[in-house]
Amino acid sequence: MKTRERIVHVSLELFNREGEPNVTSVDIANELDISPGNLYYHFKGKEELVGELFARFYEQFNVILRAPVQNPLRLEDNWFYLVVVFEHIHAYRFLYRNVSLLLQRYEHIRRPFRRLLHMKQDAARAICVQLREAGIMDIDDERIALLARSIALTITYWLNFDNLMGDRPGDDEGIIDDGVLQVLSLVAPHVGALQREFMQTALAIHHRGTTPAPRRR
């Protein structure tokens, strides 16, 4: 692995583990066993490093969030799609811990981060419309818009909420399954008679199950 890629890789690990405000450029150089000058040759400080990491996060997340908008997912894949969303956020979780403070300190990522918020809502809205068309959800456009907003809010601030609860280590990937379950609990009240089966499916996913989505009866 080339030095630049090693710097990016180690920086992400340190930011995720220690929190970005607690990691300096010198810390990164020491972790890599290189001189601060060598680090500076590739990245002129932490701002460039954060920008590089965010650019990679954005590029990948852009593809993920556009998937249900551009091409309807199979019904059974909608549940697992949320797992992919939370896994990607977890991989770059330093961006989502104290997100408001991060955006204040790094203004250059504020606008694209806001675009992601809108894209989360668009993805959630597209999935809800698909479920309505399949006869699984009984919900009008106005309530879909509100639900999509609630889903985007939960996805964005789930890491902060879980961190404040303090029930688990910061790198515990159980947070992914719990986040998926939390989002699905928002959808459950809108599936009518299928609510019981829907939540059984959600709980199966929570335990890494493979139960398919409930079908219309």
Q: pLDDT (tens digit, 9 = 90+) per residue, 21-62?
A: 999 999 999 999 999 999 999 998 899 999 999 999 999 999
Helix, coil or strand: residue 217: coil
First-residue to last-residue Cα distance in the chain = 53
Model-level pTM greater than 0.85?
yes
Q: What is the pLDDT of residues 130-153, one digit of tens each?
A: 889 888 888 999 999 999 999 999
- Name all domains of the chain by residue range, CATH numbers in brackets: 1-44 (1.10.10.60), 54-206 (1.10.357.10)
* Residues in contact with 20: Cβ distance below 8 Å, sequence separation at least 6, in sequence order: 46, 50, 94, 102
Handedness of CA 166, 167, 169, 173 (dihedral sign): negative
Check if the beta carbon of residue 155 is closer than 8 Å to that of residue 89. yes
